Amino acid sequence: MEKAIFNDMCVMLGRSMRHITRSMDTIISVTIMPIALMLLFVYVFGGAIHTGDGHYVNYLLPGILLIAIASGISYTAFRLFTDVQRGIFERFHTMPISRSTLLWGHVLTSLVSNAISVVVIILVALLMGFRSSAGLLPWLGVAGILLLFTLALSWVAAIAGLSAKTVDGASAFSYPIIFLPFISSAFVPTDSMPLVVRAFAENQPVTGIVEAIRALLSGQPVGNGIWIALAWCVGITLLAYFFAMRVYKNRV
């Protein structure tokens, strides 16, 4: 049984990945905006933003990576919406395959495509002067946090893709998520913000995740920060998965 589910999941992943490889412009468009933001903030605004010692790109990179992931998941919602509208799910339901693997195929594709975007952005950051003193284990920790963050948002995207009535509605949900890093410590320290904005910035998920990634990349002690980041990612993943499966059963 487990082997059959795994095989079904591989088939669904392969199907979704073919859509990506035949339309690489989706990955290109996802990486262009974060790279443009990184260039803008480092070379235009960087001189006016005081974040302490070190190159500003080192401070900025974690937030840019989260923006890239938030942009990429909109395509997950779009692909799910398209499958629903075309009746693809109904066709698959007539076949002897596990129904949950239909959603997992899209979610796993989101993990792969966003991982490609993250690698490209890190390479560009290296050309801009990004340097990290982190060893292998901290880099694995960063990869794990980004993977969980992508997984969490991919299940949120599944809810939007299954619930939306229009194509625009399927992808519009990602705009507030993309905006969240701007009200966090991703670009500037929260100490410089007004009291109300600072209170929101310090207690929203992006700040905890950004701070954990930044500490890992700089080789500094993470402390409880990594547990806060993991708690946000896991909590959002579980809630989003629960509601995505409910919407899936009701819609399809």
Render pLDDT for 5-58 as a digit per residue (tens, 0 to 9).
667 667 666 777 776 666 666 667 777 888 888 888 888 876 667 676 678 888
What is the DSSP code (8-state) at residue 44? I
Q: How confident is the model at residue 62 (pLDDT cuts 50, 70, 90)?
A: very high
Which amino acid, 13? L
**pLDDT > 90 fraction of the chain, expressed in percent and rounded:** 31
Mean pLDDT for 187-191 is 87
Q: Is the pLDDT of residue 2 over 70?
A: no
Structure tokens at 171: 């992808």
Contact 11, 92 (CB under 8 A): no
Output the pLDDT for position 34: 86
- The more confidently predicted of residues 27 and 226 is 226
- Share the mean pLDDT of the chain: 84
| Residue carrying the six token digits 């991982």 | 115
Residue 42, pLDDT score: 86
Three-class SS of residue 230?
A: helix
Name which of 90-94, 157-161, 201-205, 240-244 the model is least confident about.
Answer: 90-94
Q: In the chain, count of helices (H) and strands (E)?
A: 11, 0
Model pLDDT, residue 207: 93
Top-confidence residue, 201 or 105: 201
User: What is the predicted pLDDT for the residue at 116?
Assistant: 87
Q: Domain total for the chain?
A: 1
- Pair of tokens at residue 188: 């500037």
Range from 32-36, 38-42, 215-219, 234-238 that averages highest in pLDDT: 234-238
What pLDDT, on the 0 to 100 scale, is given for residue 32? 84
- Residue 206: its pLDDT value, please? 93
pLDDT value at residue 167? 80
Average pLDDT of the residues in 191-201: 90
Q: Which residue has the higher pLDDT, 11 or 84?
A: 84
- Which pLDDT tens digit goes with each residue over 109-159? 888 888 988 999 999 999 998 888 888 899 999 999 999 999 999 999 989
Residue 113 structural domain: 2-251
pLDDT at position 196? 92
pLDDT score for 250: 81
Instruction: Say yes or no to pLDDT of 3 above 60.
Output: no
Give the pLDDT of residue 219.
83
Helix (H) or strand (E) holding 192: none
Which has the closest alpha carbon to 112: 12, 35, 213? Answer: 12
Kindly state the tokens that stand for 28: 């290109």
CA dist., res. 172 & res. 156, Å (int): 12
